[in-house]
Structure 1
Amino acid sequence: MSSTDEKPVDELGYEDARDELIDVVRVLEQGGLDLDASLSLWERGEKLAKRCEFHLAGARERIEKTLAEGTADQG
């Protein structure tokens, strides 16, 4: 995982952000990084987690909207 080939977090889809977050957690759990590298990786992980939450919130809104439209059509 190199900072030179990292795509900006705000350009990642849900699956890519989730997969990279899994990798970040794995590397942090293994340890062996110096403090600066650990902090940089942790910061990237925080951004990835927020990106995943953003995508999930959007999906939740779409589902709720679709369900509300379906209820309105029935009533």
Structure 2
Amino acid sequence: MSDITTLSFEEAMRELEATVGKLETGEATLEESIALYERGAALRAHCDQRLREAEERVEKITLAANGQPTGTTPAEGL
């Protein structure tokens, strides 16, 4: 399994969907199910974090007086 922190949002979502699918089949052993659940929880947290970061970036887009985007301001320090 890859390091979750290196996954893009899309990669993490695909893996999360696959993990949920494996859990839903009920074919995994108890230990495998626990490991899948833990990995799924970590993937979900990673996706939530990536979404928050994206929202912060969008919120930081600066607009000119006429409403046109003029650039961005750094999201660091939020």
Choose which of 36, 41, 45 in structure 1 pairs with 2:36.
Answer: 41
Q: State the 1:74 CA deviation.
A: 1.6
Residue 30 (1) aligns with residue 25 (2)? yes
Name segments (4+ residues, structure 1) moved above 3 Å: none
AA of the residue aligned to 1:18: M
| RMSD over aligned Cα atoms | 1.2
Gaps of 5+ in 1: 1-5
TM-score w.r.t. structure 1 length? 0.83
Task: Answer 1 or 2: which has greater helix percent.
Answer: 1
Task: Answer 1 or 2: which has greater strand percent.
Answer: 2
Gaps of 5+ in 2: 67-78
Alignment: residue pair count: 66
Residue 9 of structure 1 corresponds to 4
